[in-house]
């Protein structure tokens, strides 16, 4: 108790330990008295398990007995309790025991299929998790089709389709009917944390199926969301398929930007098209929490890939085509790179001293796709980037003053970083230019919370 398991990581870890340790315990060459002591301790642990981290151990109880004789002995010990529970259920009372799964597993591994089917038939309200033992008993008798039909008949809104499909798939695989198992249940029975993990799980169970067929079936299983499989196709080095997926359905622009960055040198043609597609989807409102750094990164990767291919003269026109449009997303995607280019030229001395002021004002005049305004900030590398800020429409006057002070501090810090290494004469010139772009002074507030909300470089001393 007292352990936070809301993420599910602890449950997954203990389930993995159970799956690894059961074969080792079952295969251990120990005498029967010692194994009985082990099983007694495990039984106490299962009954004291709250939260139920090791409840899956009951499904392997027959295997832990390491023989039909000991499994039959445990079945005799647990069967009377399970029968009393079933009798209480038939009277309309709620009854439950954690020994039910242990009893079913022991009966199954002892080969007592008639007793197993008989006790399961006593349940007035069959539960799918218990009825899977009936399907296993039918399969053990050779009635594979009957077992699969039984699992299909358990489908309802109270039973998870993935779990039922997984049991039916395993029954077919154990019977040597891999082709039928793949066609009927491979995709339905597999759900991993990521798409690439889903692909690898299926490929591991079906080594005889071509990876291209598996990926094609997975893509076909998600109509309208084909872009989700872009990263999987890229990882498998199927670059043409990855590009086709990116063009067919929306892909997270950040995923495309990272793919372009990683393949600028090894696959410049692929990197160029991916970078252009990232700008395309940014201009159409795809993605979450995008910043100007994402837009500029996509543009820079596209230019770098084009230089490698000798297409620098035409790539700028293609970039403009991708971000063309009148929507808020398109206007934002087109304006951010221009603003950054203006700041870069000002830093290099090729523009006037008021270029930064015009750039900052142009950023503030643009609205992001979500209705927020854009504000200047300094990037982690000392360069210029843009970030989304909430609209001033919902701010109080006090909040607006704090925001102005914060952004002024950002600009002062950024300019100090850029002025390092300059001569005294140029530094004085820069200071005069900065003063011409400063915002109106903010009245000093002797409020501790007000000072705490500002960035370190924006706080007054």
Question: Distance between CA 214 and CA 183 in Å, rounded?
Answer: 10
Question: Taking residues 309-313, what's their average pLDDT?
Answer: 87
Cα 459 from Cα 406, distance rounded (Å):
8
pLDDT at 114 over 90: yes
Give the predicted TM-score (pTM) of the model: 0.68
Residue 401 has pLDDT above 70, yes or no: no
For residue 283, give the nearest of 214, 337, 204 by alpha carbon. 337
pLDDT above 80: residue 7: no
The CA distance from 303 to 297, in Å, is 10
CB burial readout 55-82, b (16+ within 10 A) else e:
bebbbbbbbbbbeeebbbbbbeebbeeb
- Identify the pLDDT of residue 294: 87
pLDDT for the residue 390: 41
**Secondary structure letter of residue 268 according to DSSP:** H
User: Is residue 460's pLDDT more than 60?
Assistant: no
Strands, E assignment, 195-334 = none
pLDDT band at 328 (very low <50, low <70, confident <90, very high): low
Check pLDDT > 90 for residue 305: yes
CB atoms within 10 A of CB 90: 12
167: nearest Cα among 156, 151, 155, 187 = 151
Distance CA 305, CA 275 (A): 9
What's the pLDDT band for 146 if we cut at 50, 70, 90? very high
Residue 291, pLDDT score? 82
> pLDDT-derived band of residue 402, with 50, 70 and 90 as boundaries?
low
Query: Residue 377: phi, psi to the nearest 5?
Result: -155, 165
Return the pLDDT at 404.
54
**Local structure of residue 46 (DSSP, 8 states):** H
pLDDT at residue 329 is higher than 80: no
- Residue 413: pLDDT band (50, 70, 90) is low
86/361: higher pLDDT: 86
Q: What is the pLDDT of residue 407?
A: 56
CA 265 to chain centre: 28
Listed ranges 6-10, 200-204, 318-322, 374-378; the one with the highest mean pLDDT: 200-204
Kindly state the helix (H) or strand (E) to which residue 377 belongs, with its residue range.
strand 373-378
What distance in Å separates the CA atoms of residue 15 and residue 53, rounded to the nearest whole number?
7
pLDDT tier for residue 408 given thresholds of 50, 70 and 90: low
Average pLDDT over residues 93-98: 88
Average pLDDT of the segment spanning 226-255: 93
Model pLDDT for residues 173-192, shown as the tens digit of each residue: 999 999 999 999 999 999 88
Q: What is the pLDDT at residue 376?
A: 37
Distances (CA, A) of 42 to 36, 53, 309, 325: 10, 13, 65, 66
What number is the average pLDDT over the span 248-277?
93
Quick: pLDDT tens for 349-389: 333 334 444 444 444 444 444 444 343 333 333 333 333 34
**Which pLDDT value is given to residue 197?**
93
CB 283 within 8 A of CB 324: yes
pLDDT (0 to 100) of residue 335: 65
Identify which has the larger pLDDT, 223 or 371: 223
Q: In b/e form, how buried is each residue of 324-361, taking b as 16+ CB within 10 angstroms?
A: eeeebbbbbbbbbbebbebbbebeeeebeeebbbbbbe
Reported for 425-433, long-range contacts at CB under 8 A and 24+ positions apart, including other chains, are 429/353, 432/353, 433/353, 433/354, 433/356
38-65 pLDDT per residue, tens: 999 999 999 888 888 888 899 999 999 9
Return the percent helix, strand and coil in the chain, to nearest 5. Answer: 65, 5, 30
With pLDDT > 90 as the criterion, what percentage of the chain qualifies? 52
Please determine, for residue 219, whether its predicted confidence score (pLDDT) is greater than 90. Answer: yes
394 pLDDT tier (thresholds 50, 70, 90): low
Provide the pLDDT confidence category of residue 73 given band limits of 50, 70 and 90. Answer: very high
Asked if residue 390 lies in contact with residue 420, where contact means CB atoms within 8 angstroms, the answer is: no
What's the length of the chain? 461
């Amino acid at each position: 108790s007292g352990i936070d398991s809301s993420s599910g990581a602890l449950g997954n870890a203990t389930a993995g330990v159970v799956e690894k340790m059961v074969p080792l315990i079952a295969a251990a060459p120990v005498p029967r008295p010692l194994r009985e002591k082990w099983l007694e301790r495990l039984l106490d642990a299962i009954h004291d398990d709250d939260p139920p981290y090791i409840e899956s151990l009951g499904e392997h109880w027959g295997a832990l007995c390491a023989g039909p004789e000991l499994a039959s002995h445990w079945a005799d010990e647990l069967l009377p309790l399970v029968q009393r529970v079933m009798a209480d259920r038939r009277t309309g009372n709620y009854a439950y025991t954690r020994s039910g799964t242990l009893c079913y597993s022991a009966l199954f591994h002892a080969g007592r299929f008639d007793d197993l089917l008989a006790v399961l038939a006593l349940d007035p309200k069959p539960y799918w998790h218990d009825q899977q033992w009936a399907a296993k008993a039918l399969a053990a008798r050779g009635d594979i089709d009957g077992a699969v039909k039984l699992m299909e008949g358990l489908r309802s809104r109270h039973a998870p389709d993935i779990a039922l499909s997984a049991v039916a798939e395993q029954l077919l695989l154990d019977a040597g009917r891999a082709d039928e198992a793949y066609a009927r249940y491979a995709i339905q029975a597999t759900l991993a944390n990521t798409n690439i993990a889903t692909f690898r799980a299926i490929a591991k169970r079906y080594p005889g199926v071509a990876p291209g067929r598996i990926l094609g079936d997975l893509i076909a299983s998600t109509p309208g969301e084909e872009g989700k499989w872009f990263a999987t196709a890229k990882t498998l080095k199927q670059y043409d398929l990855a590009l086709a997926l990116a063009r067919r359905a929306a892909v997270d622009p950040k995923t495309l930007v990272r793919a372009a960055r990683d393949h600028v040198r090894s696959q410049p043609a692929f990197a160029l098209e991916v970078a252009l597609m990232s700008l395309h989807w940014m201009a159409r409102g795809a993605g979450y929490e995008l910043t100007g750094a994402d837009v500029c990164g996509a543009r820079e990767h596209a230019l770098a890939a084009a230089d490698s291919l000798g297409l620098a003269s035409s790539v700028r026109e293609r970039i403009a085509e991708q971000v063309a449009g009148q929507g808020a997303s398109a206007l934002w995607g087109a304006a951010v790179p221009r603003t950054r280019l203006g700041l870069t030229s000002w830093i290099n001395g090729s523009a006037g001293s008021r270029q930064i002021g015009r750039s900052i004002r142009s950023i503030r005049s643009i609205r992001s796709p979500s209705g927020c305004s854009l504000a200047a900030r300094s990037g982690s590398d000392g360069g210029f980037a843009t970030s989304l800020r909430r609209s001033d429409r919902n701010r109080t006057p006090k909040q607006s003053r704090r925001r102005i002070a914060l952004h002024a501090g950002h600009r002062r810090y950024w300019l100090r970083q850029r002025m390092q290494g300059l001569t005294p004469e140029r530094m004085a010139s820069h200071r005069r230019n900065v003063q011409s772009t400063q915002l109106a002074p903010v009245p000093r507030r002797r409020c501790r919370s007000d000072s705490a909300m500002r960035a370190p470089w924006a706080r007054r001393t």
